[in-house]
Amino acid sequence: MKRSASAAASTVVAVSLLTCFAAADYAGAAPPNCVTAQCHARMGKEKHVHGPVASGDCTTCHQPTGKAHPAEKGAFKLADTVAKLCITCHESKSNKKHVHSAVASGSCTDCHDPHQSPNKMQLKETGAALCYMCHEKRSPKYGHGPVEMGECTACHDPHQGDNKNQLKLADGKLCFSCHDSAKFSGKSIHEPVRTGACTSCHKPHGSDFPHLLVKNYPDELYLPYRPENYALCFDCHGADLAKDRRTDTLTNFRNGDRNLHYTHVNNPVKGRSCRVCHQPHVNSQAKLINEKVAGFGKWEIPINFTKTNTGGTCMVGCHKPQSYDRNKPVQY
């Protein structure tokens, strides 16, 4: 009577194991599993060991093919593709809207060693070193804290998520999980802040500009008027904002057609930077107007701005109160 295929395969495994263990002295006892001093001696010795390996259940993942082991190559094969094999035990990690490419392609072993590792979850490397096996490592002048500390998973889920790039929270909510949201609420809120579009101005990983800004936004209060000195703001606000002395379209900060942005900013030697008058995130006055600005020595120049439907009035320490109106120009 012919033996079943499974029985034959079991015999091959037993013979293969005995072949492997032949040099060892087991005093008549059968070897416990695939790991001996002669075969796979290091298997299961690392700090973190995959469950089937730790319990000696090698055939949970590896199936005998009928060839003699270790004499012949191909004596074992994986029970299924890597991706399908993993989810026979682990829950699927590819059922959300955004899936890490390694997970989507079923390449679990790009990140995890299937047997053992000195690292938790059998990861092949720790922290950002694992991510840099695939992702380009950059060294900007200014780095974001989590990136600098190698804590990529502070923001990203390594497998999948409902948000783009497997972000753990959407847009500004992610930023406010670390940064104090109370500092970004007030009467006047910059549109990117209000909508949570922090990355409109900030690079989340790192930048060559201070404060992780995407473009130049100088810390200086006074500087020559050149477009590159206002690059960040001009990304959204028109680059011609302060270009012409007279306009009835480029800005609402005008007295009739007299461009008051031009008056304040367009100076080849000592133009005012945007930060002199405006706070970039939130403020208690309309148009993000600062309540105070650095003056001389310890004195901070007060600014009191009142907005109207067609203009406004500015009472400030650097000049007498001035009003402007787009429709009915104020006579100075």
| Average pLDDT, rounded, for the chain | 87
Together in a domain, 191 and 129: no
pLDDT of residue 69: 83
Residues 296/252, Cβ–Cβ less than 8 Å: no
In a domain, 85, yes or no: no
Residues 284/188, Cβ–Cβ less than 8 Å: yes
Together in a domain, 149 and 224: no
In a domain, 91, yes or no: no
Together in a domain, 190 and 148: no
In a domain, 89, yes or no: no
pLDDT of residue 33: 64
Together in a domain, 63 and 184: no
Average pLDDT on 288-311 reads: 91
Q: What is the pTM of this model?
A: 0.80
Together in a domain, 277 and 311: yes
User: Could you give the number of structural domains in the chain?
Assistant: 3
Give residue for tokens 């405006």: 278
In a domain, 312, yes or no: yes
pLDDT of residue 296: 78
In a domain, 90, yes or no: no
Rounded Cα gap, residues 270 and 279, in angstroms: 20
Q: What is the DSSP string of 52-102?
A: HHHTT-GGGTEEE-SS-TTTSTTSEEESS-HHHHHTTTSPPS--SSEE-HH
In a domain, 87, yes or no: no
Together in a domain, 191 and 285: yes
Instruction: Count CB-CB contacts under 10 A for residue 98.
Output: 14
pLDDT reading at 3 higher than 60: no
In a domain, 314, yes or no: yes
Q: Which of 168, 186, 205 is the last residue of a domain?
A: 168
Q: Using one digit for the tens of pLDDT, what is the confidence trace for 159-214?
A: 999 999 999 998 889 999 999 988 888 889 999 999 999 999 999 999 999 999 99
Together in a domain, 202 and 271: yes
Q: Which of 152, 168, 184 is the last residue of a domain?
A: 168
Instruction: Count CB-CB contacts under 10 A for residue 122.
Output: 20
Q: Using one digit for the tens of pLDDT, what is the confidence trace for 47-70?
A: 999 999 998 889 889 999 988 888
Average pLDDT on 297-313 reads: 93
Together in a domain, 147 and 238: no
30-39, 58-67, 97-106: the lowest-pLDDT one: 30-39
In a domain, 92, yes or no: no
Together in a domain, 158 and 179: no
What domain range includes position 128? 97-111+120-168
Together in a domain, 184 and 332: yes
Together in a domain, 34 and 149: no
Q: Using one digit for the tens of pLDDT, what is the confidence trace for 265-288?
A: 999 888 899 999 999 999 999 999
pLDDT reading at 24 higher than 60: no
The percentage of residues in the chain with a pLDDT greater than 90, rounded to a whole number, is 66
Together in a domain, 279 and 131: no
Q: Show the DSSP H helices in 105-166 as ranges.
A: 127-131, 145-148
